[in-house]
Homo-oligomer: A and B are copies of this chain.
Amino acid sequence: MTMKPLKSLISLEEARKLLLDAARPIERTEEVLLLQAGGRVIAQGVVAGIDVPPFPRAAMDGYAVRAEDTFGAGDLRPVELPLIGVIHAGEEGREEVKKGTCIQVATGAPMPLGANAVVKVEDTELFGDKVRVYKPVHPGANLAPAGEDIRKGAEMLQPGSYLTPSKVGVLAALGISRLRVYARPSVAVIPSGSEVVEPGKSLGPGRIYDINSYTLAALIQENGGLPRVFPIMADEVVGLREALVEALAFDLVVISGGSSVGERDLLASVLDGMGEVIFHGIAVKPGKPTLLALVEGKPVLGMPGYPTSCLTNGYGLLVPMLRKMARLPDGEREPLRVPLARRVTSTIGRHQFLPVKLLKGQAVPVFKESGAITSMADADGYIEIPANVDLLERGEVVEVKLF
């Protein structure tokens, strides 16, 4: 097993394929309350255990009747039906509508036996204990038969369905209050770099604050993962190996940083000793020094140290991988199609991620340099320039992927 030197870059497409191959959908499940199930992915099939509604019910406020009794009714020739009872929503409704009578029903009330339609209250008038019906109804009018919405025995949800509010509603309708969902992928985020200091601590000379662990953790959380940020790892073999061994308890390992060639090489060689380096270097700008390894079957992603490189790769590579593991829908929003505010050049052979800001309906490039977090913070999204394009003219319509 040999390590690819950084100089032989692989294409972004190839990298994406290898990353998705390495991303295994989570098999672990956990039980949650229905109230906490929104946004999760169900891990069980759901077959309707009941009809919904469970009984035929009135769909309007009015009077339950035998439809035949209303045939021929009109504004000038109302049909008069003795009112023999009333059923509210939530009541049992054991009464029976006998020929030529009616029972008052509220919306949602169970239909009494014998009745096969509801006359809306607006089409009636009450005189003492008699109801005058001014409009005929056909059998089935203004009622919902049992099982109209969901039929008992129907397959309602397959394992792997993403639980939108309405799918949560389907579970509620069936009376399900607990369910199994797939666990969220746990992600170890390991900051590395001897110059890096945790925010909140004091900054010694030659030191900078750790940015990447925080941007990555936020991105991971936003995309269904559970990030855990490790202590900052010194760039030396023993420390690297120890941190990696601990991190293998997680579903995915992301190492942020090591921007110098020496640090990157150290990481690559440690990973090569522990598992298999799948690739090391992508023809993408920014974000070239990106690495994927498999250690004991776990994907280990080495991200570039520069904040913009790290975060654009986060959006372009880590997010699709993580969402596949989390079994989430791809989550890509429709890109916004707007004209470019100025001409942009790109390097042939390198796929470019270019952060842009939206201003007056145009995409304004805001990339400063890979080391600048403000390149990203000032941006509303990014455009991608394929490896075979070297120039985008001002005014050309581009697709902005919004953050």
* A185 to B121 CA separation, bound complex (whole angstroms): 40
Question: Does A260 sit at the interface, judged by CB under 8 A?
Answer: yes
* A333 to B331 CA separation, bound complex (whole angstroms): 11
* A26 to B333 CA separation, bound complex (whole angstroms): 28
CB nearest neighbor in B for A59:
B371
Question: Does A163 sit at the interface, judged by CB under 8 A?
Answer: yes
Question: Does A128 sit at the interface, judged by CB under 8 A?
Answer: no
* A373 to B175 CA separation, bound complex (whole angstroms): 13
Interface size class of A (residues with CB under 8 A): 35 or more
Question: Does A173 sit at the interface, judged by CB under 8 A?
Answer: yes
Question: Does A99 sit at the interface, judged by CB under 8 A?
Answer: no
Identical copies in the complex: 2
* A368 to B197 CA separation, bound complex (whole angstroms): 58
Complex contact B171–A218 (CB within 8 A): no
Complex contact A38–B211 (CB within 8 A): no
Question: Does A19 sit at the interface, judged by CB under 8 A?
Answer: no
> Within residues 119 to 161 of chain A, which ones have a CB less than 8 A from any CB in chain B?
121, 144, 148-150, 156
Query: Which of B172, B214, B217, B263 interacts with A171 by CB under 8 Å?
Result: B214
18 A–B contact pairs at CB < 8 A? A38-B217, A39-B218, A50-B203, A88-B194, A89-B260, A91-B194, A93-B206, A150-B374, A156-B377, A165-B314, A166-B377, A172-B210, A172-B214, A172-B215, A173-B211, A175-B201, A176-B199, A334-B334
> What is A's interface to B at a CB cutoff of 8 Å?
34-35, 37-39, 50, 52-55, 57, 59, 61, 87-93, 106-110, 121, 144, 148-150, 156, 163-178, 193-201, 203-219, 221-222, 227, 229, 259-263, 305, 307, 311, 314, 333-336, 368-369, 371-374, 376-377, 379, 403
